[in-house]
Structure 1
Amino acid sequence: MNPSQKLPRGAAALLIALVTPTQNNVTGIPVLLWGRPGVGKSSFIEGLARPDFPVTTLIASIHDPTDFSGLPILEDGKVRYATPQWVDSFSETGNGILFLDELSTAPPSVQSALLRVVFERRVGFHDLPPGVRIVAAANPPDLMVGGWELSPPLRNRFVHLNWDIDADLYINALLSGWQQGNIQEVDTKAHAVLLGQVKARVAAFLRLQPSYLHANPEDNPYGFASPRTWDFVAALFTSAELLGYDLHDTQSDGLWLDLAAGCLGEGIAIALIEYLRNLRLPPPADVLDGKVSLDVTDLNDGELYVLFASLNPYLKAAVGTADLLPYSTVYLDLMATTFDDGRRDIAFVPLRELAQSGWLPEVFAAAQQANGDGGSTVTDQIERFFADEGLNQFIDVLS
């Protein structure tokens, strides 16, 4: 995926959502495209089809609930649910796109049946393959004719993206043809590592704005904040970074806002992005490697929280390696300065989480085996922190 691709509005965010790893080894966060008729939502999605990546389109309004929940059948005195035929289109490849077109024309009974398909990825008692992505499309509420509003539980299971084509893009397409979308892969291991850092930034924002954890569905016509959609945001932002999108690049402004607003609503999204852009933190690896020096007394409370939470994954990964002691030395020096600065309460949660991971006995043993003052300094710092009266919760960890 190229950040400079000339695609319809919403397409870049869609392609990111399609490749984002989620829980249980599933790929793709469900997407709902909102756009007026005739702007190419369906043709773009169907253009992503490949021999090994099928796209199955279902018009929601012409199906009944059993097409998504399975038809109950009595067999040997027990009721089982027959799997709809459309599920078979993914049986050979194990991946592809289930495209639910005209979703806003689906009656409430069909919407209820779709809840399980969209989020649990189950059709009756049959699991969709982990590589099957779910995309839906709908016309904006002001253009609906004879449709139904989507229920808040169903809306909360999608990232909502506005889809549109401006005049310049359409004119270029007339002259040179439409540019096809390109689905890339995101390395799941790299995503898992970076996700921890992104979650730390999101957590720091929510520590400052805890009321933003939830939003009223009635105040947001599309996506709205909930713990589920905050998880979506963290995973999507992680994929965007791995695919080359820079939060501080003005050319990517629309993409980041599309991703965040599609999950949380525009108001919270703007506040989140503004907060993330103002964080003054170098890459965690550069801090631990000694490539940059950092004065933690110059950081605000949110930045300090993000710093330690971002360093923790690197220290955990260093257990059993030669990097454990030097990384831990840098970490503990920063922690000591934080304690001296009177802000030990901010470092408490990251330090407890790190200690409970098994890092503590490993670094303590490495420090005792080390020659010179470095090992004794680390030992002294550990004893200082965990003897602190405010950190008595660590007693169980140390026992």
Structure 2
Amino acid sequence: MIERKTDITQMTISQLETKFVSVYTKLILSGTAFKVFPSVMLWGPPGVGKSQAVKCIAEKVAERTGRKVVVTDVRLLLFNPVDLRGIPTANADKTLAVWLKPKIFQMDEREDVVNILFLDEISAAPQSVQAAAYQITLDRTIGEHKLPENCIVIAAGNRVTDKSVAYTMPKALANRLMHIEAVGNPASWIEWANLHGIHPYVIGFISYSPATLMEVEPSMDELAFPTPRSWEMVSNILNYVSDNLDEVIQLVAGCIGKDTAYCFKAWTEMYGVIPEISEVFDGSLTQIPKRPEVVLALTSQIGNYIQEHHSSIEVKNALDYVFLMPIEYRSQALTSFLGVKEIRKQLQNDDRFCNWFLRSGRDWDDYR
């Protein structure tokens, strides 16, 4: 885990999702008003995955509660106070000023809907905008406008130590929020990546070189540097443009920087020595490669291949092969199996998989 000294709770993106999906699900199913639970302030460096976590929380809460969950994503850096407070106009008899309701307050108030108001980049917004945003976060109102009862408020921002635009939060305001610091964690990111179509080259490289997931303190003059967000951008290039690094190396370097990009390219060149992945699933491959980097690359390919090839015999053959691997290489491949809903029953009936699952501290409720 990539950590810093801090006086607030640190969580990986995966831990954030698990914890707050559980919390909000309990509040919804028990009929508890959201206003009794403190608004959440997520801190973390650019690109660590705060926005992605909020989207995943919304998706999983919808699955567990049967409610429609709508995220209103407000990038406060692009707002001014009028955007939040509304525009003043005369009342019907032109004796008083009233404020037209801003679009962000026009939410669906039906009981079968949950709204999440996500105030992103709150620490980078102009202080006049911050003041308005903090009123929303603390009081669920701004001026005469009030958030509906079915609205959750989550804010996010960068720390003043992140070398990005950020202002220190006043203590009086800070004391009224729940503060969580999102931290980078290669293992949890790889688990997420296996479930979200991240290119196997990227997954394999981060498995091989975990420190390259995120540059903790990029220099002030660096514009392109590795973060979970920029690696997802690289994955999109490989998935949708070309996975030939000779063709797209300049594009990749534009996302993660030249040094990291050329290290990544050098690593991908050894993919030619990886066994044919289909042989794992048809049961004909029984030998484990001797080179660690090849084993890591193979596990990422297994995780990618099983998304589309998961008949019962293919799953059995893949499990047989993975359990031939040294124990330190198994987790990535086995975790990727959990992302395929169609095979979870078969996994639950496999003693080897269940033993690994329990030892890893997981809960089947998280994979419903």
| TM-score bin (small chain) | 0.3 to 0.5
Specify the structure having the higher radius of gyration (Cα): 1
TM-score normalised to the size of structure 2? 0.42
TM-score normalised to the size of structure 1? 0.39
